[in-house]
Amino acid sequence: MVNTKESIESFIDNMPEDYKNEYKRYKRVMNILTREPEPEVGQTPKEVIWTKNKAKLYRYQPNKQKTKKVPILMIYALINKPYILDLTPGSSLIEYLTDRGHDVYLLDWGIPGHEDRHMKFDDYVMDYIPRAIKKVLKKSEQDEISLLGYCIGGTLTSIAAALHPNLPIRNLVFMTSPFDFSDAGLFSNWLDERYFNLDLMVDTLGNIPAETIDFGNKLLKPITNYFGPYVALANRADDDEFVKNWSLLQKWVEDGVPFPGEAYRQWIREFYQQNKLINDELYIRGQQVKLSNIKANVLNIAANRDHIAIPKQTEKLMDKISSKDKTYELVSAGHVSVTVGKKAPTTTYPLIEEWLAKRSN
């Protein structure tokens, strides 16, 4: 009786060397995709200090000495999970900051259920962010705070800061956050109210599935986003460090969360379609949002290869705010690689840390 496994192995052994290497590479790729366990993420030690509905407020490395006076509260987007800020040791903005004596907190929005479909921006900026700030100040026993908003989290942060000028916010850091939607690239075309039936979508689905948001983002560069990661993996499957980082990032990309329906309706209509924020036309619970109310120190970071929040959407903020100490930095990165790319630990991380360190004592 023929032993199939031995026959295959014998056949492979007799292959030309180039074919043999390609087969090994293919086998490695298939093992990565189908058999290897998911990588561990978010490993910086943390504790929960407050919860509200699905949201959790974390404090990182609580037992580590805090040499910088002003605590940092990070606010992430309503899509994907915030562990992108703490992806893995050595590629973690949170780890980098806490290792240098900063007292770091993160507001994790959690995973909304069907019962959260009526959540709006109003709820986040009026109920969640101000209360989280107060909890951080109480825990840290300090009188002022720094806020760091990433992606939509930065947009939310700017609104909260504008609506609550009495909150003791000393520093604001925005990372690839859109403020001006007059030209949002392909999104402006796709979300044009003449063609995109926003109400039908929200009324039908309730919360917008994570897969829908991911699909739209990937369509901005379909070949690169859909096939590029797997081509790269096939070409570098024998590079263990590359495979590790690839697996970590793919886990995060595929680990999305739903967008609460009413918040999504608001995001598309009042921001992308009507561009209300930058024009002082946005109202939250009856209060006008004026970015000119922002007087805190501001570091506004854009990425030159960002196709989700393109630089022209971020830079106009600088003309609207009243801050005397304000810095705009355009870094060489994409929307995600600004935080976890190979160069992030030597570019973005020190940029943020050094800027905050000078303004945190």
| Nearby residues of 131 by Cβ (< 8 Å), 6 or more positions away | 50, 52
Q: In degrees rounded to 5, what are phi and psi of residue 188?
A: -60, -35
Catalytic residue at 151?
Answer: yes
Q: Is 353 within 8 Å of 97 (Cβ atoms)?
A: yes
Reading the block at residue 125, the tokens are 């900026």
Strand partners, 150: 175
Nearest to 280 by CA among 251, 312, 320, 316: 320
Helix, strand, coil % in the chain, rounded to nearest 5 = 45, 15, 40
Helix (H) or strand (E) holding 174: strand 169-175
Catalytic residue at 114?
Answer: no
- In the three-class reduction of DSSP (H, G, I as helix; E, B as strand; rest coil), residue 104 is classed as strand
Q: Which residue has the tokens 């030690």?
A: 45
Reading the block at residue 144, the tokens are 């002022």
Of these residues, 86, 108, 151, 180, which one is catalytic?
A: 151
- In the three-class reduction of DSSP (H, G, I as helix; E, B as strand; rest coil), residue 228 is classed as helix
For 236, how many CA atoms within 13 A lie in the half-sphere containing its CB? 15
Catalytic residue at 238?
Answer: no
**DSSP strand pairing (55-60 vs 46-52):** antiparallel
Of these residues, 255, 306, 307, 319, which one is catalytic?
A: 306
Catalytic residue annotation: 151, 306, 335
